[in-house]
């Protein structure tokens, strides 16, 4: 077993018959993210790509606008504690703490409402067959989910290829991981598409608005608030990618579908 999974004994019941079985389950840890050694948030997550997760979180929640604002960072694995020294004003931290919302989004615990900026619609062209192909590859790459059924996944797409892929306890964490990885690799997020598993919630949508990612794609549905945010902030929302079909919820006049 790696550090993301453990084995546990269970009783499986089928047709009323009990059977002992060894099962694979997700190993959950609690990661604390702090600024100048002052606790900001604690996140339930996998022990995997911790640096990407921490960086993606402070960026997608609007605490920093670029990696230039990171003066130093240190990870203390014995305590699962990640500390940043940031070049930001205290009012930015206070705004986050005052406006962050408790969410139901398995893993992440806050979603900051501040620092959202409207963008112009950028006309976009997509190939529906490529969306279907990427969707199938996304499912194949979700190996931890296929083995345990206990995680969500996210991927960053550019030129119809998966650049980065991550799995975690919650969709929010998986999204933060790939955003963090993209920042470290200096990828222009405005030229990418986000694939995510599960429903497209408003917390996820706020993160990609800040990251300037123009499109979200999911196998599942968006919420009404996500659709409202999509129209307001000019984000293309695609849901229910199943086989050779999908639903487009926003930006009808600014997208060309082949």
Q: Which secondary-structure segment (H or E) carries 14?
A: strand 5-14
Residue 49 CB coordination number (10 Å): 22
Residues 158/185, Cβ–Cβ less than 8 Å: no
**DSSP letter (8 states) at residue 170:** S
Strand 29-35 versus strand 81-86 pairing type? parallel
Residues 28/70, Cβ–Cβ less than 8 Å: no
Strand partners, 156: 164, 194
Residue 22 CB coordination number (10 Å): 8
Catalytic residue among 25, 88, 106, 162: 106
Q: For the CA atoms of the chain, what is the radius of gyration?
A: 19
Q: Which secondary-structure segment (H or E) carries 20?
A: strand 17-26
User: Is-catalytic flag, 106?
Assistant: yes
Q: Which residue is listed with tokens 């806050």?
A: 110
Cα distance between residue 136 and residue 50, in whole Å: 27
Show which residues are catalytic: 106
């Amino acid at each position: 077993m790696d550090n993301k999974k453990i084995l546990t004994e269970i009783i499986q019941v089928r047709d009323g018959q009990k059977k002992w079985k060894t099962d694979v389950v997700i190993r959950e840890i609690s990661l604390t993210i702090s600024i100048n050694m002052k606790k900001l948030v604690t996140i339930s997550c996998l022990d995997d790509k911790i640096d990407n997760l921490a960086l993606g979180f402070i960026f997608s929640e609007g605490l920093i606008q670029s990696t230039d604002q990171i003066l130093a960072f240190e990870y203390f694995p014995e305590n699962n504690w990640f500390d940043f020294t940031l070049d930001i004003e205290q009012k930015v931290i206070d705004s986050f703490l005052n406006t962050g919302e408790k969410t139901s989004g398995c893993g992440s615990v806050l979603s900051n409402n501040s620092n959202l900026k409207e963008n112009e619609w950028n006309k976009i062209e997509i190939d529906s067959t490529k969306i279907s192909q990427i969707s199938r590859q996304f499912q194949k790459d979700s190996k931890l989910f296929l083995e345990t059924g206990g995680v969500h996944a996210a991927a960053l797409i550019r030129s119809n290829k998966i650049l980065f892929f991550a799995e975690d306890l919650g969709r929010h964490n998986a999204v933060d991981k790939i955003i963090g990885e993209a920042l470290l690799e200096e990828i222009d997020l405005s030229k990418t598409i986000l694939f995510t598993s599960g429903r497209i919630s408003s917390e996820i949508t706020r993160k990609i608005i800040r990251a300037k990612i123009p499109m979200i794609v999911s196998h599942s549905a968006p919420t009404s608030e996500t659709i409202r945010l999509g129209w307001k902030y000019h984000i293309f929302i695609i849901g229910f990618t199943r086989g050779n079909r999908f639903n487009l919820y926003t930006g009808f006049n600014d997208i060309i579908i082949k």
